[in-house]
Amino acid sequence: MQTMELGRTGEQVSQLALGAMLMGTSTGEDEAFAILDRYLDAGGSFVDTANCYAWWTGPGNTGGESEKVLGRWLTSRRGKVFLATKGSAWVNDPARFRDQPGEPRYSGAAGETLRRELDASLRRLGTDHVDLYYVHVDDLATPLEETLEALAGLVAAGKVRHLGWSNVRTWRLERIRALCERHGWPAPVAVQQQHSYLRPRPGANTRSIVDDEQLHHLRHNPELTLVAYSPLLKGGYGDPARRAHPVMNEYRGEDAEARFAVVADLATQLGVTPNQVVLAWLLHQTSPTAVTLIGPRTLPQFEETLPALELKLTGEQLTYLDSAGA
**Chain segment 71-123, per-residue pLDDT in tens:** 999 999 999 999 999 999 999 999 999 888 788 999 999 999 999 999 999 99
Catalytic residues: 53
Preceding amide of 280 cis, omega within 30: no
The pLDDT assigned to 85 comes to: 98
Preceding amide of 288 cis, omega within 30: yes
The pLDDT assigned to 195 comes to: 98
Pick the closest to residue 24 from 58, 69, 62, 59 (CA basis): 69
pLDDT tens for each residue of the chain, 326 residues long: 999 999 999 999 999 999 999 999 999 999 999 999 999 999 999 999 999 999 999 999 999 999 999 999 999 999 999 999 999 999 999 999 988 878 899 999 999 999 999 999 999 999 999 999 999 999 999 999 999 999 999 999 999 999 999 999 999 999 999 999 999 999 999 999 999 999 999 999 999 999 999 999 999 999 999 999 999 999 999 889 889 999 999 999 999 999 999 999 999 999 999 999 999 999 999 999 999 999 999 999 999 999 999 999 999 999 999 999 98
The pLDDT assigned to 144 comes to: 98
Number of domains in the chain: 1
The most distant pair of C-alpha atoms in the chain lies apart, rounded to whole Å, by 54
What CATH number is attached to the domain comprising 263? 3.20.20.100
Residue 38: give the domain boundaries: 3-322
Query: Cβ contacts of residue 54 below 8 Å, gap of 6+?
Result: 21, 22, 24, 25, 26, 61, 63, 65, 66
The pLDDT assigned to 165 comes to: 98
Q: What is the pTM of this model?
A: 0.96
Exposed/middle/buried for residue 126 (C-beta within 10 Å: 0-12, 13-18, 19+): middle
Query: Cβ contacts of residue 225 below 8 Å, gap of 6+?
Result: 4, 5, 6, 7, 189, 190, 191, 288, 289, 290, 291
